[in-house]
Amino acid sequence: MGWVRIAGLVVIVGLLAGYYALRSHKATTGAPEQAGTATHLLLVETDSFDSSAATITVYQRGSGSDTWVQYAGPLPATVGRNGLGWGHTFRDLAGPGEPIKVEGDKRAPAGVFSLGRPFGLSPDGLAHYMQLEKDMHLCVDDVGSEHYSRIVPAVAVKPETSVERMWEIELYKRGIVVDYPTDRAAKSGSCIFLHVWKNPETATVGCVATSEDTVARLQKWVSEAPNGAWIAIVPRAARGRLGQNLPE
């Protein structure tokens, strides 16, 4: 693998301060054009929309006008147990019979998205690293909540809200936020991450997963990307629909 550098009131006030800091997780709109100046890219490919087996290939280039150079991979990965579905902002690319990502469908979103903060269960010195803490890091997967698909502290949501308590999820021992531009009204999916897999044969419920060693290297690689990093998730046969900014 060719890696190179890959009292109560006080508590509530503190939690709210953390909440507003974490709202930076709110996703940006994904579109192929936005990746035009990217210099770091993860290409996640499957054989079909219904396949959960995937590969990750890592690419870099000096500037947005340069040719992509393969940096590492292909590396084994898994996606949703039901495969992929076009992400909300890429739904117009769907061909006849191709699925659109919706909440609870056990599909990972297809499209091009920016990568956000690295995170994990243990301390780490990476830039912008988010250590998951009890009652501070809940990802909301409840379409009835105004915080849908955001990482917030427990104080920000009602007790009955459906959430992922991220600090309790062993597979989140290492991960990277995918800035998936969801749509609450369309129920288009939430809490998309790249994280550690259970094993190579076990698919996810809608994320991308790979080995812990690979995630650790990718966390470092993403944290060192000067202009941020992007992830493209797509079946191989549909890659051409994502535009000219991806590797040939």
| pLDDT reported for residue 30 | 43
Q: How far apart are CA 88 and CA 155, in angstroms?
A: 29
Residue whose pair of structure tokens reads 């061909």 in the numeric block: 95
CA distance 93 to 111: 9
**Cβ count within 10 A of residue 91:** 17
CA–CA separation, 165 and 154 (whole Å): 9
169-196 pLDDT, tens digit per residue, is: 999 999 999 999 999 999 999 999 999 9
34 pLDDT band, cuts 50/70/90, is low
pLDDT at residue 21 in the model: 35
- Pick 16 or 101 by higher pLDDT: 101
Spatial separation of the C-alpha atoms in residues 155 and 18, rounded to whole Å? 10
Q: What does the pLDDT read at residue 38?
A: 84
What is the mean predicted confidence (pLDDT) over 3-28? 39
Residue that has been written with the tokens 């920000």 in this structure: 156
The mean pLDDT of 22-49, rounded to a whole number, is 68
Give the pLDDT confidence of 130-151 residue by residue, as tens digits.
999 999 999 999 999 999 999 9
Tokens describing residue 139: 């990802």
Half-sphere exposure of 51 (CA within 13 A, CB side): 14
Angle at 196 between CA 192 and CA 200, to 5 degrees: 110
